[in-house]
Amino acid sequence: MVTKRTSKRLLDRVHLGQAFAEYDSTLEDPTVFVHTPALIAAGTWDNPHCFFVGRRGTGKTTIARHVELTNGKAVLIRPELFSPSTPSIAVESFLDAKQKPFRSLTAAFRRSLQTEVLLTRVAHNEAYPRSLPSALSTEYETYGDLDFDLRSVDYIDKLLLPLAKDDDTAWLSEVKVAKAHARELDTMSEASHSRQVLLIDAIDDSWDGSQLAVTYLAALMHAVLEVNTQTRGIRVLAFIRENVFDRVREIDSEFARLETCVVGLEWTAPQLLEMVERRLNAPLTSKMALDGSTWDHFIEGGNNSRKAVFEYCQRRPRDVITYMGLALDLAQGSRHDVIEMADLHGARRQFSISRLRDLGDEYQENYPQIGLVLSRFYGLAGKWTLRGLSGFLQRLLLDEQVTEACKMWIWSVSDEQSFAHLLYSIGFLGYSQPASRANMPRQIVYRSLGPADSTPPPIKASTDLVIHPSYWDALDLQDVLIQEFTELSSFGKPGIQFELPESIEFDVYLDDLKGLQERLKSTAHGLDSASEFEDCVGDVLRLCFFRSLANIESQVREVDGVIRRDWIAANRGNAGFWEMVRQRYSATQIVFECKNYTDLSASDFHQAGYYMNSAIGKFVVIVFRGEMKNHYFQHVKRLATKDDGLVLLLTDKDLQVFVRQAINGKVKDDHIQDRYDRTVRAIS
């Protein structure tokens, strides 16, 4: 029963905010946060938990935003060194956490975290360079201009070089530096009663999934634990995706030390209800109660609609916001007084397509191009016997496109039980078991969100497999049970969930990406290779950003022939980063300027300023071959102040990230959004 409305058009005044926390201005309002156990743990200084682990969309970045909001000195670190180069010693040497190679990584990361605290205290006038103890003074002078990644790489080199030369004296001297700095930081903390929080987030943005990347993350986690337990006045919190965390669990011989400090990001139905009600209340002057009354005021169905929505969204907060936001748009567009059940049903298909894409994106580091495998269910059944799934798998293994794109992992799940366990572990399907009593419906178990639920229940002879309802619409599944699927059976025709640029074949697309990856590595710096580098940038735009950027042209001159842009693309983004750029900077066209050299000069930024105008917008991207330097941001700030525009700097390393993610099937804007965030924070 829907309650009587105080205002028939009150629904037009509410919104739910952005589902992606990095874009969500709603999170600037402290009243919208739900105080879950994880959020409380993050905000409590003496809480021992420091690793916040959850699947995508469970609130990791939201918690980091809350800590930033409530702690003005909190520093956010988004590491980019998780696609590391081959070290000077064998990768296998790092596997034992008690041995020198792994301890070297841990010591390097610990030192870099502590140096971040030192730099922050100086920046906030809690310490003065001239009054620092000698060791910290040297550290400040040497590394004050480097960010976390560049410092960490330098420290790692300092520790691994003596190991490669069997120089124990030099190694011991270097490994003890972090502990010596910790003692001096402790003395400073006691004198000033200062407390500093560091937040490590978005680890997966630059993650290449290699064994060395997993080892680096394991070492960073041990460093976080050491800083938290052995240093006063410093607390480090790390927010880690569950599938990435599982990789550390597999290789770390000392994982038990970390596991006691893990917080899972599970959500209950009451917490999800509170989240929706707080967001509905946010724009209202007179707030409603957070006891279900707000839901009932705006949404039909009461408890039944709440249960249906939360289960359909797998109790994932981001999915609840996305789904309810789509239903709200339909209700407002239809001039409804409330979100009706018809609006909830009408939002399903669009949400389902988004959810399927996001699932493939979420697990692309562990299972590259898994979205291609999921697309093979298109037009088939939503329910399978184990025998039927076995036939589907055997047919899948005859599909050359699948076996080539997924060769890194597909053969490791070549029996039906392993394949079913994989699909269960990513949340794609559940296990349906007969009820314990006759005449009762079968019980379907889907994986919950927590890291503790990574082991699926056993499969019995009577077990059926049911694809989660949130994927049915995207895959146009039929409500039937497949008991037999032979090698002669055919897959359904893929639906719109599988996109490629310019309608090219998938095999050609992958080959183009792999060729581009090699060209980026082999193209030399300098004027002689400038056109080759421009071609690489153009191919990155064409192959990696085709969902948002269209009509890409090179060497475009304006009508007078004075200004020539290396590349210009029409901004067709209707969500996420590119939509934000279009709205914030009126950027209907995006200019990309290519610099095939290491160091940028003032003239490069002047040139970018010429490209900004009211006709195409005020957002320009410069792509160059070097490292980011602090003084570059002074030029960016000048243009932002003068023209209210923005120059975004990308390096060829960023291009490599875009290409690697495209090869693996990643479709999100996380990495370029991180570059934008870093720029805005540097010039603000």
- Please report the pLDDT score of residue 519 as a whole number: 92
End-of-domain residue from the set 234, 264, 294: 264
Are the C-beta atoms of 587 and 619 separated by less than 8 Å? yes
- Please report the pLDDT score of residue 450 as a whole number: 61
* Cα gap 257→286, rounded to integer Å: 48
List all residues 6 or more positions away from 118 whose beta carbon is below 8 Å from its beta carbon: 127, 132, 136, 139, 140, 181, 185
Q: Which domain holds residue 523?
A: 501-683
* Cα gap 595→152, rounded to integer Å: 27
Tell me which residue has tokens 């060769």: 407
Are the C-beta atoms of 303 and 294 separated by less than 8 Å? no
Helix (H, G, I), strand (E, B) or coil at 314: coil
Domain match, 277 and 387 both: no
Domain match, 152 and 177 both: yes
Nearest C-alpha neighbor of 359 from the set 668, 659, 32: 668
Domain match, 47 and 69 both: yes
According to DSSP, the β-strands at 464-467 and 429-433 are antiparallel
- Please report the pLDDT score of residue 5 as a whole number: 46
- Please report the pLDDT score of residue 96 as a whole number: 84
- Please report the pLDDT score of residue 3 as a whole number: 45
Domain match, 182 and 276 both: no
List all residues 6 or more positions away from 509 whose beta carbon is below 8 Å from its beta carbon: 500, 501, 543
CATH code for the domain in which residue 642 is found: 3.40.91.30
- Please report the pLDDT score of residue 4 as a whole number: 43
End-of-domain residue from the set 244, 264, 284: 264
Domain match, 318 and 408 both: no
Question: Any idea what DSSP says for residue 365?
Answer: T
Q: What backbone phi and psi angles, to 5 degrees, belong to 648? A: -100, 125
Domain match, 234 and 382 both: no
SS3 percent helix, strand, coil of the chain, rounded to 5, is 55, 10, 35
* Cα gap 394→403, rounded to integer Å: 11
Question: Does residue 22 belong to any structural domain of this protein?
Answer: no
Structure tokens at 394: 């055997």
Instruction: State the total domains in the chain.
Output: 4
According to DSSP, the β-strands at 429-433 and 234-241 are unpaired
Q: In what order do the strands lie in the sheet with 564-571?
A: 549-557, 564-571, 589-594, 619-624, 646-651
Nearest C-alpha neighbor of 668 from the set 211, 275, 214, 202: 202
- Please report the pLDDT score of residue 270 as a whole number: 96
Question: Does residue 288 belong to any structural domain of this protein?
Answer: yes
Domain match, 443 and 530 both: no
Question: Does residue 242 belong to any structural domain of this protein?
Answer: yes
* Cα gap 234→173, rounded to integer Å: 24
DSSP one-letter string for 32-86: G----HHHHHHH-TT----EEEE-TTSSHHHHHHHHHHH-TT-EEE----SSPPP
Domain match, 85 and 227 both: yes
Per run of 10 residues, the mean pLDDT along the chain (length 684 residues) is: 53 87 85 94 93 91 92 89 72 84 94 95 88 90 90 92 90 92 88 88 79 91 95 94 88 88 92 96 91 94 94 94 95 92 94 91 86 92 93 92 91 94 93 78 80 71 93 93 80 54 73 90 90 92 88 65 70 83 90 92 90 89 90 89 87 88 75 86 81
- Please report the pLDDT score of residue 493 as a whole number: 57
Domain match, 154 and 290 both: no
Domain match, 454 and 563 both: no
Query: Taking the mean position of all CA atoms in its chain, how far away is CA 166?
Result: 39
Tell me which residue has tokens 């009461």: 302
End-of-domain residue from the set 235, 264, 293: 264
